[in-house]
Chains A and B, each alone.
Chain A
């Protein structure tokens, strides 16, 4: 069940650089639908499903399993914890959030700071800076130091929230929603014949510069690489031409980072099978694994599928489950559409 998978994925803790807990969840769900699971030197997990052809081409799907979060910087004399960010954390979302510090033991904490009444007026109108915030675990310094050290990862404690109309909200939907798409794709492929070998890779460290995708792509050396990430979902204050709508289907990316033939094929498949889709344009960088994948080795033909997501990089990111299902279908049919295809011919400029 997609909702259950997503809940487990989103509630797992996998800070950029510390993705093992998330990797375990991915392995659990991907194993029944793949022939082999491999974990590379950086920690990226590949689920490999072999194709039927003699000399199969390789398709690599990449969705990142890391999430942004915080890291222990210092434990002060009163047992409060100063922290730094890992990845693009919006400091305005942090006040009074509940967190888990993953040390020798998991500790529950609250992010607090000076209450408003003792601030100067000028301070009151500004966002509280991260360096002025503290995590309160309710223990004295000696106790804290038994379990926590400098560099321990900290993630937000947030259960997945079920909203109306098949929408869910939670932390880390960027990009566990993408990971869920790969799962849906593998599920579809189980009952389909495909020529290509499919590598569904849950990458690490995307949030700090696609650091997992680059070595993973080098290792796999695919013919086509498709990144599945999240895109900006529409909300009242954002311009319509910079966002996509939740529930209207996954976004197929178009632009320099995307091979035009890959784009065309994805659109063709969507139309043919009546899968709802939207278009996302990127004149330059897409800010996803695709950017790193495209320039690996001698160059990879890349594509990008984005799931519309509201409130990106907050702990209440919101997506529509139907977009995830449709994206999984789209990728499965895309892969099958390559059966018997001369990829060299298709991908040459």
Chain B
């Protein structure tokens, strides 16, 4: 199952290889041209009819994870964050180290040995380490080296009311939706960009947009959803189950209102659940794309994800289906001559 395969795969910023392989396999039969650029972005073109605009659709392949920094004398692995995450979630989690996915655990001092203020202070990344069960430094060094990527060990689980728990739903959900989109035909020309290194600064999107230089761009993401009980409603950002969320503003982009509204209205007209993503901190590939060259009109549509940037990211399958539907509806709604720039 595509989403499961994508979320099971490991791809940290700069190390997206495993994900890239899966996507290349998947899209080959449906596109006219595939390129992998200097940073590792997949650029896949599906030609449409003349007179219709070139639409760039971006979804990033990288996930937030960790990287091996050093191996200490006892064979324990010191690590750094690859991409931003809340340090407080690291403790007591299983991980997979390196290409060979060596099983490890991020442990912590037993509660019995902690002082009271220790219990209330989160452990910093540099105090933590990964235990793979090695006997010595040499033992570990046979299997792991500094620079190896480390992913959370979290499997794909369906539960609750049509929900999915998996790691990396940000943004494998976007990648899966984009792959689906490529399986249909449109009047517009689509250039799909499966980007790299979004999590460390929208790096892949920056160069992809420059090369593609589209008329208009769509960014597919997994986004914040904090509709949990002890959060005031004004801080939800998005609500699970209310459909894909269209961005209005975030810390990197103020989205053109008419474009966002157009997509919103199309959804409503076609009975597809849709919501606006409330302005908040956070950014996505649109932040880089919309200011490329002379500027590109951009819209961002995202699947709400609870506990984003953690091993237990949760998304609604209904919202995911909604995302795929709305992309298709929007693309089909674009008329000849629209958005074309000279």
Contact = CB atoms under 8 A, between A and B. Distances in A.
Interface of A: 76-78, 80, 82, 88-93, 95-98, 107-118, 125-128, 132, 134, 136-140, 143, 158, 161-169, 232, 234-238, 242, 247, 287, 310-318, 320
A312 B112 contact: yes
A162 B96 CA distance: 12
A312 B76 CA distance: 17
Q: Shortest 7 CB-CB distances between A and B: which pairs?
A: A138-B160, A163-B133, A311-B107, A167-B133, A312-B110, A93-B92, A316-B105
B287 to A, nearest CB: 16
Interface stretch (B5-13, B187-195, B226-234): B226-234
Contacts of B326: none
Contacts of B165: 98, 108, 110
Contacts of B134: 164-165
Contact of A95 (B89, B109, B228, B229): B89
Contact of A169 (B105, B224, B231): B105
A175 B132 CA distance: 21
Nearest to B111: A90
Contacts of A93: 91-92, 108
Given A110-B165, A112-B307, A242-B113, A92 B108 contact: yes
Contact of A163 (B72, B104, B123): B104
Given A90-B111, A161-B103, A318-B105, A116 B228 contact: no
B135 A247 contact: yes
A221 B207 CA distance: 77
Given A95-B310, A139-B161, A167-B133, A236 B76 contact: yes
Contact of B311 (A96, A138, A166, A236): A96
Interface of B: 72, 74, 76, 86, 88-89, 91-94, 102-114, 119-123, 127, 129, 131-135, 139, 143, 153-154, 157, 159-163, 165, 224, 226-231, 235, 240, 280-282, 306-308, 310-312, 314, 316
A236 B72 contact: yes
Between A78, A108, A109, A115, the greatest number of chain B beta carbons within 10 A of the residue's beta carbon is seen for A115
B215 to A, nearest CB: 33
A128 B87 CA distance: 12
Contacts of A318: 105, 107, 131, 133
Most buried by B among A88, A163, A164, A165: A164
30 contacts: A92-B92, A95-B89, A98-B154, A98-B312, A107-B160, A108-B159, A110-B165, A115-B308, A117-B282, A126-B121, A127-B120, A136-B307, A136-B314, A137-B160, A138-B162, A161-B94, A164-B132, A164-B143, A169-B103, A235-B74, A235-B129, A235-B131, A237-B109, A238-B113, A310-B131, A311-B92, A311-B105, A314-B110, A315-B92, A318-B105
A110 B306 contact: yes
B312 A127 contact: no
Contacts of A143: 161
The A interface is mostly helix, strand or loop, or mixed, namely loop
B88 A92 contact: yes
Contact of A127 (B88, B102, B103, B230): B88
A91 B109 CA distance: 13
B94 to A, nearest CB: 5
A9 to B, nearest CB: 18
Contacts of B92: 90, 92-93, 97, 311, 314-316
Nearest to A230: B110
Contacts of A242: 113
A316 B93 contact: yes
B122 A164 contact: no
B131 A163 contact: yes
A118 B110 contact: no
A238 to B, nearest CB: 7
B131 A169 contact: yes
B103 A163 contact: yes
A122 to B, nearest CB: 12
Contacts of B312: 96-98, 110-112
Contacts of B105: 161, 163, 169, 311, 316, 318
A75 to B, nearest CB: 10
Contacts of B106: 316
Nearest to A99: B312
Nearest to B154: A98
Given A163-B132, A232-B113, A316 B307 contact: no
Considering residues B109, B224, B231, B311, which has the most beta carbons from chain A within 10 angstroms of its beta carbon? Answer: B109
A118 B226 contact: yes
A114 B307 contact: no
B246 to A, nearest CB: 19
Contacts of A117: 224, 280-282
B173 to A, nearest CB: 16
Contacts of A96: 89, 93, 307, 310-312
Contacts of A236: 72, 74, 76, 129
Contacts of A164: 102, 132-134, 139, 143
Given A162-B103, A163-B131, A169-B105, A92 B228 contact: no
Given A117-B280, A128-B88, A164-B143, A90 B306 contact: no
A111 to B, nearest CB: 8
Contacts of A165: 133-135, 139
Contacts of A89: 111
B314 A90 contact: no
Most buried by A among B143, B226, B280: B226
Given A92-B119, A138-B159, 7 more contacts: A96-B89, A136-B314, A140-B161, A163-B132, A235-B76, A247-B135, A310-B107
A109 B282 CA distance: 26
A348 B235 CA distance: 69
A95 to B, nearest CB: 5
A287 B112 contact: yes
A313 B114 CA distance: 12
